[in-house]
Structure 1
Amino acid sequence: MPVESVQKIQSGEVAGLSVRLLGPLTVLRGGVAIALPASRKLRALLAYLTLTPHAVGRSRLCELLWDVPNDPRGELRWCLSKLRGVLDDPDVSRIETQGDTVGLRLDGVSVDAVEIAAAAAAGIATLGPERLQALSDLFAGDFLDGLELDRCPHFDSWLVAQRRRFTSCHIAILEHLVNTLPAGSDASPYLDKWLELAPFDVRAHVALLENLARRGQIGQCEEHLVVAAQLFQSEELEFAPVREAWRAIKDRQSDAAPGAQRAIAFAPQVPIALAEPDAAASRRASLAVMPFVEHAGTEGIRGGLADGMTHDIITRLAKLRDFFVIARGSMFALAEKNIAPEDAGRRLNVDYVATGTVRSLAGRIIVSVELIEVRTARIVWAETFERKQDDIFIVLDDIGNSIVSSIAAEIATVERNRAMLKAPNSLNAWEAYHRGLWHMYRFTRTENELAQQFFGMALKQDPTFARAYAGLSFTHWQNAFQRWGDRDQETALAFESAGQSLLVDDHNPAAHWAMGRALWLRGEQDGSLLELERAVDLSPNFALGHYALSFVQSQSGDPKSAIGSSDHSRHLSPFDPLLFGMMGSRAMALARLGQFDEAAEWALKAAARPNAHTIILSIAAHCLALAGRQDEARNFAAAIRKTMPDYRADDFIATFRFDSEGEALFRNGARLIGLN
């Protein structure tokens, strides 16, 4: 929505219908407030339907708003009839009832909270200062200010969640607004509001100190430090990052030319990096997992299954060693103080916060999870898992696997996409690493070379970055595997980089994964399997470790074990960039077991992946040939020879390390379609 439209909503100039949910609930037509019935439940119903993007069952609405009255559906009908008089136009009926559901038709209706939510979903960080100012002006007060209901626990829970959500959006808007204001602009009103909403947000205090110092108000900076230190001490929070940031601000001010105007600029991550120049280069994404809430009846309590699941998820995420995970004790301590997840994320200065609920209902367990990007108040990922309670511990383990893998994948995707938008010379080590991953997963020779450059850039800034060494090893492995360079030389480089990764962090599963693959290239299968098993022992949720085990076992090891590892890797990471390899390994293992028809189907799935390379197409050709589907197999062989005219069975066999029976099997497949 254009800035002008948002400003009109705020000023009441919209000619049509407007609903304001931020502050006291107000409905305006042509900029004039409409008198609403006195019923608080009618207002609550209007707000709930306005923010719910789909029709809602009448029984759900009755449960939400009426505490066992004599006739809840009758009261609902009365409320709806009154709302029609408020919302309907002569030619438009906005209350839609179909079957047993109720919904609102809001096309052409301006809703402040909906505009805020849409901006958050699209990405607050991408907006300019004028748009951010207009959005900030929409916050006329707390969400549904003053609208609390007695004996309506479900509505109260929804109301609290929405207030937290929009407060978080407001904070994110204020933060990005302060960061995007032109030099010389007065950020004071926005900084004051930011600190009012998030008094323990380290970045807000640093921003205020920057703003005051830029205007030469050093005395006020010192006064603020004293008051803020007492505030943090009262909550037993660490204040050292603010003090360190203030020292750095003073140093910069003293170095600046007299009278020079300074733009407001803040460290992109933890403020203490201002005092430690190397910290910015070695910075990782950070995550806090709030204790999951277990719902029993109508109350949300902590403990039992929810506590156990939270502890398990934190432990598993930490074992991945891909990003910084806040310890369990800190998270439970904040939860005991009833700190909202977004507030906890800002107090801890982390990039992401994960929250969840656990419900047991009619023999089923239901777990709902959200992953929130703290600085933009954006929900990055949300999912609900529902399983039968046949064996509660197996069920929780299965759900935990899905949650951990999804969180890790979503954070990697967000970080990778963010890195792609930045200029290469502005990348820190973490961003350069993710930029390298983006190129690495394109699986072409040119992109692989670019990936090497970005991994090298990351390691130049942070020589202790184990995963960047593992990524570099992967690129050399690809050069050897795809014959994009001298196989022996690239094998040696893959082994060397994997060794560097292990030297840096022997407990990182990616380091052992890289070493396992490098040893496979060297023909040391036993050593390869030991390293790969060590990788999944260190982190059972490390999908690439399970896939690599499948890859090695599919050629000359236990084919049944290969199938199990392939299935588990796909369960852990169902949208993995290496999904074609997981499927291809399964296909080769099935072929070795004589299950040619099934092998052909899995090989076709692998070849259909958008980033599947020539070797995957060759697996499909051989498996289809063995299944008696020669015409399809020849089509794949023809596609391979368009780019590799001299491709033969020897090339396929030399790529892998089959045992003698496997080699004979696939040579026979090649003979059937003229690739021998």
Structure 2
Amino acid sequence: MQELALRLLGPLRVSRGGAPLKLPASRKFRALLAYLTVARGAVAREKLCDLLWEGPSDPRGELRWCLSRLRSVLDTHGRSRVIAVDDQISLDLDGCDVDALLLLETARGGVDGLGLQELLTIASRCDGDFLEGIGIRNCAAFEHWLGGRRSEFRSYQLDIAAEIGRRTPVGSVDGLPAARRWIDLAGLDTGANIRFLSELLHRRMVDECNRHLDMAARLFADEGLDFAPVRDAWEQLRHAAAQPTQVAVSERVREPAQSIHPAASRRASVAIMPFRELGAGPEMRRDLGSAVAHDIISRLARLRSLFVIARGSVFAVAEERLGSQDIGRRLGVDYVATGFMEQHDRGVCVTVEVAEAATARIIWTAQFEARSAERLAILDEIGDGIVSSIAAEIENEERNRAILKPPDSLDAWEAYHRGLWHMYRFTPDENARAAEFFHLSTRLDPTFSRAHAGLSFTHWQRAFQRWSDRDAETRNALKAAGQSLLIDDQNPAAHWSMGRALWLSGDHDEAVRELEQSVHLSPNFALGHYALSFVHSQSGDPAAAIASSDHSRLLSPCDPLLFGMLGTRALALVSLGAFEEAAQWGVKAAARPNAHVHIVAIAALCLALAGRIAEARNYVTRIRRQNPGYRIDNFLDTFRFAPDITARYRNAAALIGLT
């Protein structure tokens, strides 16, 4: 038994040697304990005062009182756990049993490598809402932090519950509790509903199945979500139970596209068909090719940018060996992704293509090489590239289609993609035009989370590029990002937009947390990895910045923001003192066709730091053409560098006339 145990999930409790400790009734004491427990390192007193005390005339005095109470609870004669160094406060929790930290550690390590019993133990110890029942009136900053943390921990709890639900055999003693826990946490998740129905049907609880179907259908309809995949899977389960040797294809699969995609919430839809194994027997086709397709479906769905047809419907239709147009009509989708796999001495070659369903026109095809024939190894090596490429190519096709349509004929989805087309031009006029289309998209569908995230990005650009008042645009970026999160806090783009907005407001730690949540929700979300690189490249961890930059480019090698992915790598290398390498990456960034003036400045300054003065001055000439009044202060006011790095850039600017 640990000496000290903290329970932050559910009602807050602290115990020593198994005996509960009496805690002060103060909500701010409890909030301070929780905040310091999950904080990354020491926290400045000023930040704690701003977080918890908006009204009192002496916030530092109240903070001292709370810290003294913390010491009385946590410290012992042999050990001080409340650490105050200069103006920084931290907790020493080494050797303590803390449920929230256990959940965070599990999330960072991933659930794939844990056994089922380990997951069950973690789930039982990490149950309940973070700081359940605690809220502080008139403390907007704390309430925002608490809301974000609660959402984050719920997401981690859901990941564990979903993994337990998938691994627990249907019909086992633990099967129904596992399925019920998953559905309780994710009532609108297609997989959770199908797993729950499977469990009920196995127990011949048909009436309960029908009641659940009716209730779930209403919930999905209220949220504007497509319930057809759940009902399709139910039909297949019911028919399979009655006729085990037959594969039944639900008639509902044959419904036209308009019944599946309501106009207000339409997204481009795609069916990922099982991959064919060339030269392998039927058993191998069902195993490896189907497994890879299933994983791609799961990863693509987590991006939440496309409507991805559920595995049950896709695999049932695959039995009929139809062409792309017939699959499109049968499933009511816009795009069909197919592929085949060839085994050779060095591993597996996977060929993937995406076709427009209506015309069977191939919009993208590529080959990927894996050095192993094992499912997990294949996905580790090439899964990210396949998923990100499919998403990027379809979204690019949708943008190009939207730009050709008259503005007054656009629906919410098309208006959003029209906004993206203008946004990626990176000029003040195009950015304003993008904002107009994002506003149109939110009016046509107020529940479209990504449109609000796009709107936040346009405010971010105005602030970052100084096209408008930075403080006002930062507030607008935060507001739009908050609306995106309110609509769908499981959308990685929502957390991405909030993370960038928080960086603008100067909150580095919270920005990193939101951006890490975006890539936790979808490891294939390239912009999330890029934004993490952007933040770390200035005042965070330069090695982490390089890793995130590399990963973002691996996921999206032709991204419209590729200049930024390259530029942040250059900034990180400057922090590490690798000036020559930084210059090489800065030049690559400035070579991108849509690189803005700050990117060109990165190239000029990195070249100067590397001693390549003549080349650097050529880039200064280019800067003058883009913005005649641009100086080093414009560059340094835009980014957030540590003082020693700022001095490096000022010295470099003096060498090339950019002062």
TM-score, scaled relative to structure 2:
0.61
- The answer (yes or no) to whether the contact 2:279–2:342 under 8 Å persists in 1 is yes
Counterpart position of 1:416: 399
Within 5 Å, give how 1:132-531 maps onto structure 2: 236-238=250-252, 270-271=258-259, 279-297=262-280, 301-389=284-372, 393-531=376-514
What secondary structure sits across from 2:481 in the alignment?
helix
String of CA shifts for 1:431-490, please: whole Å, max 9, x gaps. Answer: 000000000000000000000000001010000011100100000000000000000000
Cα drift, residue 641 of structure 1: 2.5
What secondary structure sits across from 2:350 in the alignment?
strand
Counterpart position of 1:588: 571
Counterpart position of 1:561: 544
- The answer (yes or no) to whether the contact 1:305–1:358 under 8 Å persists in 2 is no
Cα drift, residue 633 of structure 1: 1.1
Cα drift, residue 307 of structure 1: 2.0
Cα drift, residue 280 of structure 1: 1.6
- 1: distance between equivalents of 2:329 and 2:640? 51
Cα drift, residue 240 of structure 1: 9.5
- The answer (yes or no) to whether the contact 1:641–1:647 under 8 Å persists in 2 is yes
Cα drift, residue 636 of structure 1: 1.5
1:652 maps to a residue whose letter is F
What secondary structure sits across from 1:406 in the alignment?
helix
Residue 300 and residue 421 in structure 1: after superposition, are their counterparts in 2 closer, same or farther (change >3 A)? farther
Residue 501 and residue 540 in structure 1: after superposition, are their counterparts in 2 closer, same or farther (change >3 A)? same
1:538 maps to a residue whose letter is L
Cα drift, residue 667 of structure 1: 1.5
String of CA shifts for 1:300-357, please: whole Å, max 9, x gaps. Answer: 9523322221111000100000010011111112223444454222111100111111
- 1: distance between equivalents of 2:297 and 2:644? 45
1:451 maps to a residue whose letter is A
| Deviates most, 576-585 or 305-314 | 305-314
- The answer (yes or no) to whether the contact 2:325–2:358 under 8 Å persists in 1 is no
Counterpart position of 1:653: 636
- 1: distance between equivalents of 2:602 and 2:621? 14
Residue 426 and residue 390 in structure 1: after superposition, are their counterparts in 2 closer, same or farther (change >3 A)? closer
- 2: distance between equivalents of 1:638 and 1:360? 54
Within 5 Å, give how 1:632-651 maps onto structure 2: 632-651=615-634
String of CA shifts for 1:202-252, please: whole Å, max 9, x gaps. Answer: xxxxxxxxxxxxxxxxxxxxxxxxxxxxxxxx953128957xxxxxxxxxx
| Deviates most, 333-342 or 511-520 | 333-342
String of CA shifts for 1:546-602, please: whole Å, max 9, x gaps. Answer: 000000000011111101100000010000000000000000111111111110011
2:465 maps to a residue whose letter is Q
Counterpart position of 2:66: none
- 2: distance between equivalents of 1:294 and 1:241? 30
- 1: distance between equivalents of 2:525 and 2:442? 23
Cα drift, residue 675 of structure 1: 1.9
What secondary structure sits across from 1:303 in the alignment?
helix
Residue 395 and residue 666 in structure 1: after superposition, are their counterparts in 2 closer, same or farther (change >3 A)? farther
| Deviates most, 398-407 or 312-321 | 398-407
Q: Over the residues paired in the alignment, what is the CA RMSD in angstroms?
A: 2.0
What secondary structure sits across from 2:443 in the alignment?
helix
What secondary structure sits across from 2:447 in the alignment?
coil
| Deviates most, 389-398 or 314-323 | 389-398
- The answer (yes or no) to whether the contact 1:293–1:300 under 8 Å persists in 2 is no
- The answer (yes or no) to whether the contact 1:288–1:353 under 8 Å persists in 2 is yes
Counterpart position of 1:189: none
Cα drift, residue 299 of structure 1: 6.4
- 2: distance between equivalents of 1:581 and 1:498? 21
2:423 maps to a residue whose letter is M
Cα drift, residue 644 of structure 1: 3.0
- 1: distance between equivalents of 2:450 and 2:422? 15
- 1: distance between equivalents of 2:375 and 2:270? 27
1:522 maps to a residue whose letter is S
Cα drift, residue 396 of structure 1: 2.8
What secondary structure sits across from 1:438 in the alignment?
helix
String of CA shifts for 1:255-294, please: whole Å, max 9, x gaps. Answer: xxxxxxxxxxxxxx52577xxxxx3232111011111122
- 2: distance between equivalents of 1:239 and 1:616? 49
Counterpart position of 2:645: 662
Choose the corresponding residue for 1:545, options 523, 528, 531: 528
2:613 is equivalent to residue 599 of structure 1: no
1:474 maps to a residue whose letter is F
Structure 2's unaligned 5+ residue stretches are: 1-247
2:596 is equivalent to residue 613 of structure 1: yes
What secondary structure sits across from 1:304 in the alignment?
helix
- 1: distance between equivalents of 2:412 and 2:532? 29
1:238 maps to a residue whose letter is R
What secondary structure sits across from 1:594 in the alignment?
coil
- The answer (yes or no) to whether the contact 2:343–2:373 under 8 Å persists in 1 is no
String of CA shifts for 1:515-574, please: whole Å, max 9, x gaps. Answer: 000000000000000000000000000000000000000001111110110000001000
Structure 1's unaligned 5+ residue stretches are: 1-233, 243-268, 274-278
What secondary structure sits across from 2:559 in the alignment?
coil
Q: Rg bigger for which structure? A: 1
| Deviates most, 444-453 or 368-377 | 368-377
1:618 maps to a residue whose letter is A
Residue 317 and residue 398 in structure 1: after superposition, are their counterparts in 2 closer, same or farther (change >3 A)? same
Counterpart position of 1:30: none
Cα drift, residue 297 of structure 1: 4.3
| Deviates most, 515-524 or 631-640 | 631-640
- 1: distance between equivalents of 2:374 and 2:609? 41
- The answer (yes or no) to whether the contact 1:416–1:437 under 8 Å persists in 2 is yes
1:521 maps to a residue whose letter is L
- The answer (yes or no) to whether the contact 1:295–1:301 under 8 Å persists in 2 is no
Counterpart position of 2:561: 578
Using the aligned pairs only, state the percent identity: 60
| Deviates most, 282-291 or 442-451 | 282-291
1:540 maps to a residue whose letter is P
Within 5 Å, give how 1:58-69 maps onto structure 2: none
- 2: distance between equivalents of 1:499 and 1:476? 13
- 2: distance between equivalents of 1:451 and 1:532? 23
2:302 maps to a residue whose letter is K
1:551 maps to a residue whose letter is F
Residue 239 and residue 545 in structure 1: after superposition, are their counterparts in 2 closer, same or farther (change >3 A)? closer
Residue 394 and residue 653 in structure 1: after superposition, are their counterparts in 2 closer, same or farther (change >3 A)? farther
What secondary structure sits across from 1:576 in the alignment?
coil
- Number of aligned pairs? 413
- 1: distance between equivalents of 2:535 and 2:299? 25
1:411 maps to a residue whose letter is I
2:258 maps to a residue whose letter is V
Residue 340 and residue 490 in structure 1: after superposition, are their counterparts in 2 closer, same or farther (change >3 A)? same
